[in-house]
Amino acid sequence: MREFFRPYTIVAQLTNTDVSSVTLADSTGTALKSNFVSVETSSANSAAWVSVTASSINVAQARNNTVPPASALLGTVSGLIGGVAPSNKGVVEFVLSDADRVNTLALSLSEDEIVNFYITYGQVQTGNPLRDGERPIGD
């Protein structure tokens, strides 16, 4: 069984601890319901960390149904669909089931600094093995 994937990319930069929303869109600008998301980070500070939350998945978020900033997560919040990683060379990845899709991420930093986010996302689908025999093999 083979899988197919059309990757899309976004590069974002944050500089403070405010929560920032990023819409995962296709090439026409329409929000894409993705079942795969990978977020890599790059910064000069290896002591800080980032929070990546799949904010468009419909579950009860922490407290008043909002996504808290990374600086408020330590020991106070649970139940968020997401992950945390170092702000320098960190990776948060979502491989979602058929029941879940994400089209918006909430990104935040644990402290003020410049962090680049490299986001790769899309829809991973299982190929049809019967169709493989009909594909052109080239010259």
Residues near 61 by beta carbon (within 8 Å), at least 6 away in sequence: 53, 55, 67, 79, 80
Question: Does the pLDDT value for residue 24 go beyond 80?
Answer: yes
Give the number of other Cβ atoms within 10 Å of residue 58's Cβ: 7
Determine the pLDDT at residue 68: 63
Determine the pLDDT at residue 62: 42
Tally the domains of the chain. Answer: 1
* Domain contains 27: yes
* Domain contains 132: no
Question: Does the pLDDT value for residue 31 go beyond 80?
Answer: yes
* Domain contains 15: yes
Range of the domain at 17: 3-127
CATH code at position 24: 2.60.120
Who wins on pLDDT, 30 or 76? Answer: 30
Determine the pLDDT at residue 97: 87
* Domain contains 137: no
* Domain contains 135: no
* Domain contains 45: yes
* Domain contains 40: yes
Determine the pLDDT at residue 50: 92
Question: Of 13, 17, 11, which Cα lies nearest the Cα of 43?
Answer: 13
Mean pLDDT of the chain: 83
Average pLDDT over residues 52-78: 62
Question: Does the pLDDT value for residue 64 go beyond 50?
Answer: no
Q: What is the pLDDT of residues 96-128, one digit of tens each?
A: 988 889 999 999 999 999 999 999 999 998 877
Q: How far apart are CA 10 and CA 23, in angstroms?
A: 9
Is the pTM value of this prediction over 0.75? yes
* Domain contains 57: yes
Determine the pLDDT at residue 99: 84
